[in-house]
Amino acid sequence: MAIRYSLVNTETGAASGFPGSPAGGAAQTVNEGFNIAGGPIESIIFRFAGTLNAAGDVDGDLAQCINALRVILNGETFFDYRSGYSDPADTTASQFGYFMNSLGESLSTEVVASTTVKEAYLRIPCGRQAPPGVSRIEYTMSTVALAAQATGTSVEVWVVYNDNMQTRTTVPPATSKVMSGTGQEEVVVRIPSNEPGVIAGVMIQNDRDTDGDISEIRVISQSDYSLETNYWRYLNHDLFNGVLYGSSGSQTQLQIAQLSPGGYFINLFGLARGDDLRLQVTTTAARTVLYQPVLVAPANASEGAQPTQTQAVRTNTSQAILDRSGAANQ
Round to whole Å and give the CA distance between 12 and 280. Answer: 45
Note the pLDDT of residue 191: 93
Round to whole Å and give the CA distance between 181 and 162. Answer: 46
What tens digit of pLDDT does each residue of 162-171 get? 999 999 999 9
Torsion sign, CA atoms 231, 233, 239, 240: positive
What tens digit of pLDDT does each residue of 197-209 get? 999 999 999 999 9
pLDDT band at 160 (very low <50, low <70, confident <90, very high): very high
Query: ∠ CA 232-178-69 to the nearest 5 degrees?
Result: 75
pLDDT band at 309 (very low <50, low <70, confident <90, very high): low
Name the percent of the chain lying above pLDDT 90: 86
Q: Is the pLDDT of residue 194 over 90?
A: no
Mean pLDDT of 5-32: 97
Question: How far are the Cα atoms of 75, 119, 133, 296, 310 from residue 171, in angstroms, in the given order?
Answer: 15, 25, 26, 9, 32
Round to whole Å and give the CA distance between 283 and 226. Answer: 12
Residues 45, 158: contact at Cβ < 8 Å?
Answer: yes
How would DSSP label each residue in 264-295? Answer: EEEEEEEE--SS-EEEEEEESS--EEEEEEEE
Residues in Cβ contact with 247 at an 8 Å cutoff, skipping those fewer than 6 apart: 59, 60, 61, 91, 112, 254, 255
pLDDT band at 2 (very low <50, low <70, confident <90, very high): confident
What tens digit of pLDDT does each residue of 34-88 get? 999 999 999 999 999 999 999 999 999 999 999 999 999 999 999 999 999 999 9
* Beta bridge pairs of residue 130: 39
Which domains, from first to last, does the chain contain?
3-168 (2.70.9), 175-298 (2.60.120)
pLDDT band at 273 (very low <50, low <70, confident <90, very high): confident
Reference 135, options 6, 14, 274; nearest CA is 6
Reference 163, options 44, 39, 78; nearest CA is 39
Average pLDDT, the chain: 93
Question: How far are the Cα atoms of 2, 164, 305, 313 from residue 308, in angstroms, in the given order?
Answer: 6, 11, 8, 12
Query: ∠ CA 133-68-215 to the nearest 5 degrees?
Result: 130
Mean pLDDT of 142-160: 97
3-state SS assignment for residue 27: coil
Round to whole Å and give the CA distance between 232 and 222. Answer: 12
Note the pLDDT of residue 301: 44
Round to whole Å and give the CA distance between 294 and 195. Answer: 11
Mean pLDDT of 295-319: 69
Note the pLDDT of residue 324: 78
Query: ∠ CA 147-150-156 to the nearest 5 degrees?
Result: 135
Round to whole Å and give the CA distance between 234 and 214. Answer: 16
Reference 90, options 67, 121, 119; nearest CA is 67
Round to whole Å and give the CA distance between 51 and 55. Answer: 10
Note the pLDDT of residue 330: 64
